[in-house]
Chain A
Amino acid sequence: MAFEVTQILLNAQSSDGAVRRTAEENLKQFQEQNFPVFLLSLAHELANNEKPPESRKLAGLILKNSLDAKDASRKAELAQAWISLDNALKSQIKGALLMTLSSPVKDASHTAAQVIAKVAAIELPLREWPDLVGSLLSNMGTPQAQKPPGLKQATLETLGYVCEEISPEVLAQEQVNSILTAVVQGMNTSETNNDVRLAATRALYNALDFAQNNFDNEMERDYIMRVVCEATLSPDVKIRQAAFECLVSISSTYYSKLSPYMGDLFTITSKAVREDEEGVALQALEFWSSICDEEIEAQEEYGAEFSEDSEVPYFKFIKQALPALVPLLLETLTKQEENQDQEEGAWNLSMAGGTCLGLVARTVGDDIVPLVMPYVQENIAKPDWKFREAATYAFGSILEGPSLEQLTPLVQVAFNFMLNAMKDQNTHVKDTTAWTLRRIFEFLHGPNVDVPVVNQNNLSVIVEVLSEGIKDVPNVAEKICGAIYFLAQGYEGTSEPSSPLSPYIQGIIQMLLASADREDANESRLRTSAYETLNEVVRCSTEDTAPVIMQLLPAILQKLNSTLDMPVLSSEDREKQNELQASLCGVLQVIIQKLSALEITKFGILQCADQMMALLLRVFSCRNATVHEEAMLSIGALAYATGPEFAKYMQEFYKYLEMGLQNFEEYQVCAVTVGVVGDLCRSLDDKILPYCDGIMTQLLKDLSSSHLHRSVKPPIFSCFGDIALAIGENFEKYLAYAMPMLQTAAEVSAQGGGDDDELIDYYNQLRNGILEAYSGIMQGFKNTKAELMVQYASHILQFIESICDDPHRDDAVTKSAVGVLGDLADTLGSHVAILFRNSSSYQGFLQECQASDDQQLKETADWALAIISRIVSQ
């Protein structure tokens, strides 16, 4: 009962726009009117060897898109639609897909492999389609009954895609074993067909996660490793590259099993780096970068406490390989390409080698210095720019990792050379020199450095060099911005009224503004970097330069004003305007924050508040449906600075606030707006009341939406607390809506995240938000409506007990939980005495907190315990 769809599918690829649109419309109608038959028709089209490859391929792609989507909620909907189809129909479709694998038309079999994986992704976790793996494996044949190479290739592709789609626990160990057997056999040198070997190698890449047990078994592991290593020697470059990709994946997944193979792996990878084609060589380098990642992580895990019976493996492979590895990496540095610095996203051998060198330095620290410095000294003044650039890059790369004791003398000696090298004739050398200066400032300059590289004597020279360098081509200028960023950051956090940088602030601000105004500032991200550097300069400025920052304010406002008149004819224009407004609002926000923190300049900010607000509202209004995240952040800073005065802007601003809260597609905008609601609550206090119906409605809608990014939920709960604290007893009318949501979320967060760090982290944020909501609500009700909370008291106490018992709770949650315990007793008094008397775990928890180093936590715990013991003993 399938329909003929060939012509429509061909039309949908027509070069004639009108024909194409009609066909697309037809397909859409068909899909909506009869989804099951639509899918079946596509499957038949894909399976039919009589049909043209083009229509078959598109049929497969549409089928695939009907089963999966990027967006998580859409994906779930599609899976549900498939599950609810008639079983007989699903069998028909699956049969057609499996049949297509044997098609001689690559487009068809390849697409079928992808579609099968999508179906498997839905069905295997539900324990459906149990014979899938079996029927795929039977396609691989036996030595006695050989199957066609095309079928084997498509089958291996399918196995790879299936492994990519599902998680390891979905398959039984014997299924994993037979898949690996088939895949590894396909990779073996005895397989003469290169397409099959390649498909097998790529399938292994996806199947590696499933091979945990096999890697635990020495014999099986040896076998897999042998086959992969042999594949790196294949005459086919694609197979070699795929094999190295497997090694990269193995290096991180099975780091702890690598010891016996490291000698051979060094030989194989170094040969590939030196002799093989770039694609292969890059993967061979990536192998070592990935080992560095593992070892850096292992060291971070231990801190200084590495000992023999530690659980996380750390074998110091890099330290052992160092004498041979470093020369290999240094060799790659002179393989630069002309103009590589101008191309965004460029990646080549010298970049990969240099990046790896930087990781090696972070892994081994001091040991790298004597291996790299002779190379630097030998090459840094050579006539060929490639050597000068390579030497500079090597020097810059080892600035993170080794100790300050090692680095300081070296950098002291090299520093003037680096400043001079900004006059090099070659742009690459200048680019890398500017980057190296930035790294020097990042790692060897600041309050923690005993012998500062930057001092009163050379600061003026440094600023002079930077002011010249920033006029260079955009990519060099952008690196100079980075250097200025970290030069300024080194003076951050001083409580002194003046900074050594103060005399130069005006000049630095001027050069950054000039760079941002350059015609070519849109290249190499120069404009954005210039403004972002300006932010750091403002943040790190001291009281004595406040007047300079004050002068910057009108300049920025004027620039922001002129963005409103930019001609916007294309989407490109729109994007440009958007980006510029973002940068300028960013600067504005930083200035507001800086100046409102100082008594002497706060007044200036308040004087400009009307002007700033008017401008920000115009920035909002020049966009249609969305609001600007950066403008919203500026509003928050302004509301914080003005306090209750902000009330006069509320009427006009409210609609943008609402728009921001509605924007759950751009969840960052939504999150930032929720934060601004908090600022407004603290600034306006009960003056926010008239807007609360609207705000609460939006927040509750957000929480109920399955499309809202989960990271916004915790701040929304915190925001409930902010609102309740601001409007006090008036929160009563929202209570019946807010509490069930808080309770549900509390239950979710109590499930625990298991081993999943990200989930543990999220649950902590969620709990923190819930606790802040409870605190705000209880404090808000305390004097007049406390009795409203009595019915929730036992739930709240249970929630906190579950937190006390959770080993994963973080400091913020601990703090909030202590507060809520006290609030509970303080607000509800004798109503909760019996609850506390019957509770066992809170006491130990509070006593633990009393012994904390954190003064605020200690005080809060003292307070909570005192209040609780008072009501318990009554």
Chain B
Amino acid sequence: MDNRLAKPEGRVHKRTISDQQKRRDIALKRQSQGRRDLQHHARQLVSLAVPPSSSSVFEEHGAVTGHQEAEAIDIQSSESSVFGHEVDVVAEKVEGWHGDQEEDAIGVVEATRLKGTKAREWFKHQFMIPEWMVDVPSHLRKDWYVMARPSGERCLVVSSNGTTVSRLRNGCIRHCFPSALPNGSRTRESIAASQVFCILDCIYHEPQKTYYIIDMMCWRGYSLYDCNYEFRHFWITSKLEETGVLGPTSKFHRYQFSIVPVFECGKAGFQAAYDGDVPFERDGCLFLNRHAHYVLGVTPLALLWKDPVSSRYHVDTDRIGNVPAYQQIVLELQDDGTVATCDQPGVVLGSMPQDFLLKNKEHLQAGMLLKFTIGDKGLSILDGKPVTADIHYQGLANRFRAGADSVSKVLFQYAARHCPLAFSDILAAIEASDDEMDI
């Protein structure tokens, strides 16, 4: 306080250069790099003797255990847009973890920090997508859970770095908001804890401004991807209640989080999921196999089923709510002029006339998505696969679509218009599996 004209601390006028610290830093950098290289070298010598690791959590996503495979055998592997009424918006090709894109190599922690296009690209591949139920799986009662599916927009909800972001199926941000999820809002404790984050699979129900949690993939940075559904379900109920995430909304926490009641898939459970009281508008039932890991992309271990009682949208509707006279499907044009579903491999449902293709070769190229209606002659199905189809070309598909329809979707929608899989059929299958158990 004595020298009253002294330069305040930290202020510099026409700063001079100073190189000494730079020299020290460079020397230190060289030394620590030298140390790291030497150790890295020592370790790499060893790693030559060891096969490359295959124990990453994420690499297991695509794999289904033998047991599960056996049970799923009568269900065609297929891809589908998830929930019927979103069909025009969200149907897109979904790749597993091992896509060609660079983004796929990014880990969950890093991904929670991605922004913009990169984030959208990454997130749209992070959903587990149920097949449509065209056949009742065996052991429903023993191996499956069932829940009423709230109508709304499917979202991944990620809480990290003091904020919560929900993203739609196409990867775009729906909301960005503070929540009571761990690290979901800026609080004194959470600010620096960058690897504390959560990822939830939710359906956003707009009328109630509520996120209904249907699955949980990460909790406080702890990965649940390779835990079975039974465990994830236990974790959802216990962790969320413990931490008060489900509490009422407030000025700062504007969106409600709620849990959807989940039932063991016995008669009573299925009945409850089907028409029991729920606080939201129902859009079908979602079946989940208790042994299933959270797999990225289409899986037969999660199944979607609807009928007119459980859903307003049980048959595809257009944007204004009308059911088109003919079933519409979107297929991909192949090199040889055939058109196929998006499944791997694609199921061919017809081919375009060669002269038509020649005449329009400027506009029509392989890989393009084309819209068809299914005509009066319908589909003929053999071993659960359509072999011929009476399809009629309508024009190019909406350019926002990322991929063609899947077989299970085509079949379910076809069945919905002709001989739907009814509530009573499923109930009967459950009863039958009860009998099996008794024997």
Residues of A at the B interface (CB closer than 8 Å) are 202, 241, 248, 278-279, 282, 286, 289, 293, 307, 309-311, 341, 345-348, 351-352, 354-355, 431-432, 435, 478-479, 481-482, 485, 525, 529, 532-533, 535-536, 586, 589-590, 593, 630, 633, 636-637, 640, 668, 672, 675, 678-679, 682, 718, 721-722, 725, 772, 775-776, 779, 807-808, 815, 819, 822-823, 826, 844, 847-848, 850-853, 856, 859-860, 862-863, 865-867, 869-870
B46 and A807 form a contact (CB under 8 A): no
Q: A848-B107, A851-B109, A856-B40 are in contact. Are A869 and B13 (CB under 8 A)?
A: no
**Nearest 6 A/B pairs, CB to CB:** A851-B107, A807-B193, A532-B19, A311-B186, A866-B53, A347-B7
Q: Are B13 and A633 in contact (CB under 8 A)?
A: no
B109 neighbours in A (Cβ, 8 Å)? 848, 851
| Cβ distance A820 to chain B, nearest Cβ, rounded Å | 10
Chain A residues with CB under 8 Å of B157's CB are none
Given contacts A202-B1, A859-B44, A860-B43, contact A718 B19 (CB under 8 A): no
Interface-side segment among B31-39, B198-206, B266-274, B361-369: B31-39
Given contacts A435-B14, A822-B43, contact A675 B38 (CB under 8 A): no
With A279-B5, A725-B39, A867-B46 already in contact, the answer to whether A850 and B23 are too (CB < 8 A) is no
Chain B: residues with CB nearer than 8 A to chain A?
Answer: 1, 4-8, 10-14, 16-20, 22-24, 26-28, 30-32, 34-36, 38-40, 42-44, 46-47, 50-53, 55-58, 105-110, 162-163, 176, 178, 185-186, 191-196, 221-223, 252
Residues on B with beta carbons closer than 8 Å to the beta carbon of A862: 47, 52-53
Contacts of B53 in A (CB 8 A): 850, 862-863, 865-866, 869
| Cα-based distance from A129 to B105 in the complex (angstroms) | 63
> Which A-chain residue is minimally distant from B106 (CB atoms)?
A851
Contact A678 B35 (CB under 8 A): yes
Are B107 and A850 closer than 8 Å at their CB atoms? yes
What residues on A are CB-neighbors of B163 within 8 Å?
307, 309
Contact residue among B13, B42, B105 (Cβ-Cβ distance under 8 Å from A347): B13
A276 and B40 CA atoms in complex are apart in Å by 64
Instruction: Choose one: B28, B42, B110; the contact of A852 (CB below 8 Å).
Output: B110
B5 touches A633 (CB 8 A): no
Within the assembled complex, what's the spacing in Å between the Cα atoms of A311 and B27?
A: 38
- Give the secondary structure class of A's interface: helix
Complexed CA–CA distance, A44 and B31 (Å): 59
Chain A residues positioned under 8 Å from B19 (CB to CB): 485, 532-533, 535-536, 586
CA distance A589 to B25 in the complex (A): 13
Find out whether the CB atom of A844 lies under 8 angstroms from the CB atom of B222: yes
Q: Could you tell me if B16 and A525 are in contact, using CB atoms closer than 8 angstroms?
A: yes
When chains A and B are docked, how far (Å) is the Cα of A533 from the Cα of B220?
A: 50
* Given A593-B26, A862-B53, A866-B53, residue A779 in contact with residue B35 (CB < 8 A): no
Q: Which residue of B lies closest to A586 (CB)?
A: B23
On whether A682 and B35 interact (CB within 8 A), knowing A289-B11, A309-B186, A867-B50, the answer reads yes
B44 to A: closest C-beta gap in Å = 7
Question: B43 contacts which of A282, A354, A529, A863 (Cβ < 8 Å)?
Answer: A863
Per the bound structure, the CA–CA distance linking A571 and B47 in Å amounts to 59
CA–CA, A853 to B111, complex, Å?
A: 11
Question: Please, which residue of chain B has its CB at the minimum distance from the CB of A847?
Answer: B57
A604 to B28, CA, bound (A): 24
Q: Is there an interface contact between A819 and B39, defined as CB atoms closer than 8 Å?
A: yes
User: Closest CB of chain B to A347's CB: distance in Å?
Assistant: 4
**Across-interface contacts of B26 in A (CB, < 8 A):** 593
B7/A532 in contact, CB under 8 A: no
Q: Is the interface of B mostly helix, strand, loop or mixed?
A: loop
Residues of B near A826 (CB, < 8 A) are 43, 46
Q: Name A311's closest neighbour in chain B (CB-CB).
A: B186
A808 x B192 contact (CB < 8 A): yes
Which of chain A's residues have a CB closer than 8 A to the CB of B18?
532
Known contacts A311-B191, A636-B27, A718 near B35 by CB under 8 Å: yes
| A355 contacts B17, C-beta separation under 8 Å | no
B1 touches A725 (CB 8 A): no
- Min CB gap B207→A, angstroms: 25
Cα(A533)–Cα(B20), bound, Å: 11
Taking CB atoms, residues of chain B closer than 8 Å to A525 are: 16
Beyond A865-B55, A866-B55, 15 additional contacts (C-beta under 8 Å) are A278-B5, A282-B5, A525-B16, A679-B34, A725-B38, A848-B195, A850-B56, A851-B110, A852-B107, A862-B53, A863-B44, A863-B53, A865-B56, A866-B50, A870-B50
In the complex, residue of chain B having the shortest beta-carbon distance to the beta carbon of A755: B188
Chain A hits for B185, CB < 8 A: 309
Instruction: Say how far A618's CB is from chain B's closest CB, in angstroms.
Output: 21
Partner of B31, one of A348, A479, A636: A636
CA distance A448 to B192 in the complex (A): 31
Closest beta carbon of chain B to A162's beta carbon, Å: 15
Which A residues lie within 8 Å of B221 (CB)? 844, 848
CA distance in complex: A229, B51 (Å): 73
Q: List 5 A-B contacts (CB under 8 A).
A: A309-B185, A535-B19, A630-B23, A847-B223, A862-B52
Given A482-B17, A851-B107, A863-B43; A807-B194 close (CB under 8 Å): yes
Residues of A within 8 A of B50 (CB): 863, 866-867, 870
Please give the distance in Å from A151's CB to the nearest CB on chain B: 21
Interface pair A482/B16, CB less than 8 Å apart: yes
B56 to chain A, nearest CB (A): 5
Could you say which of A202, A529, A853 contacts B16, with CB atoms under 8 Å apart?
A529
Closest residue on chain A to residue B7 by CB atoms: A347
Q: How far is the CB of A525 from chain B (nearest CB, A)?
A: 6
B34, A851: Cβ atoms under 8 Å? no
Cβ–Cβ contact B31 & A679, under 8 A: yes
Could you tell me the distance between the alpha carbons of A279 and B223 in the complex, rounded to whole angstroms? 60
A56 to chain B, nearest CB (A): 21
B110–A672 CB distance below 8 A: no
Docked complex Cα distance between A347 and B22 (Å):
27
Question: A633-B27, A672-B24, A678-B34 are contacts. A775–B39 as well, Cβ < 8 Å?
Answer: yes
Q: A310-B186, A345-B7, A807-B196 are in contact. Are A678 and B223 (CB under 8 A)?
A: no
Q: Cβ of A482: which chain B residues have Cβ within 8 Å of it?
A: 16-17
Q: Which of A241, A286, A682, A848 has the most CB of B within 10 A?
A: A848
Kindly state the separation between the CA atoms of A865 and B1 in the bound complex, as whole angstroms.
59
CB-based contact B23/A866 at 8 Å: no
Q: Are A478 and B108 in contact (CB under 8 A)?
A: no
Q: A248 to chain B: which residues have CB within 8 Å?
A: 8
A241 x B4 contact (CB < 8 A):
yes
Q: Which residue of B lies closest to A782 (CB)?
A: B42
Contact residue among B17, B24, B28, B105 (Cβ-Cβ distance under 8 Å from A532): B17
Question: Which residues from B are CB-within-8-Å of A478?
Answer: 16
- The docked-state distance in angstroms from the alpha carbon of A485 to that of B17 is 8
Q: How far is the CA of A289 from the CA of B38 in the complex (A)?
A: 47
B28 to chain A: which residues have CB within 8 Å?
675
* Contacts known (A279-B5, A633-B24, A722-B35); A807 close to B195, Cβ less than 8 A: yes
Determine whether the beta carbon of A823 is less than 8 Å from that of B43: yes
Chain B: minimal CB distance from A251 (Å)? 12
Q: Which residue of A lies closest to B225 (CB)?
A: A847
Q: Which residues of B contact A668 (CB under 8 A)?
A: 24
- Contact of B27 (CB < 8 Å), options: A279, A347, A637: A637
Distance from A571 Cβ to chain B, minimum over Cβ atoms (Å):
22
CB pair A779–B14 under 8 Å, yes or no, is: no
Which residues of the partner chain A approach B47 to less than 8 Å between Cβ atoms?
859, 862-863, 866-867
